[in-house]
Amino acid sequence: MKIGLTGGIASGKSLASTYLYEKGYPIIDADKIARQVVEPGTPALEAIRNTFGKAVVHEDGQLNRKALGSIVFASEEKRQQLNKIVHPAVRKQMLKEADTFERNGHTLIIFDIPLLVESHLFHLVDQVWVVYVDEETQLTRLMQRDQSTKDEALQRIRAQIPLEQKVQYADQVIKNTGTKQETYDQIDAILQTVTTT
């Protein structure tokens, strides 16, 4: 069974992901793969260079994220172009990793995908688990974590689909508003239901 684990900024998705990993479940991390698929020598990096020009690649062949960022954040069209290059490469690698885990006998695989809902990647997984906190908790945690102002933190939260909306797509909701142990207990309870059916 493939589980899509998602949440929002400062919702505690990493906490849930780390706990599942420590319990021995394989984690396929979309963010990590997104960095891997644009490493020097990859077809995706080559496509990015061809699309956005030499300025987006450093002398040493590494992606110049800052230069690329300033291009794609200024234009929705350019951002779409970038997504068309990176997203398929990420999906392909995720499925390849899942296949390897399955062949090695794993029956439950966790896809850690921050933008699962935004990118409509439901077809990759059998169930969606959303790590949820209310906006007030999210705001407090983000300000503490990043030492950011309330306005900065709100801007980052509002740049994502609200967690209330993400919950509508969830097969399982992990409420991360209490203690870590309470969150772990919920995960254990959910694991019981999915591994015994």
Is 54 assigned to a binding site?
no
Nearest to 86 by CA among 27, 28, 43: 43
Bridge-based pairing of strands 172-175 and 127-132 is parallel
Is 17 assigned to a binding site?
no
Residues in the chain, how many?
197
Is 7 assigned to a binding site?
no
Q: Which residues of 4-42 are buried (b: 16+ CB within 10 A; e: fewer)?
A: bbbbbbbbbbebbbebbeeeebbbbbbeebbeebbeeee
Is 180 assigned to a binding site?
no
Is 67 assigned to a binding site?
no
Is 15 assigned to a binding site?
yes
Residues making up the binding site for ATP? 10-15
Residue numbers belonging to the annotated binding site: 10-15
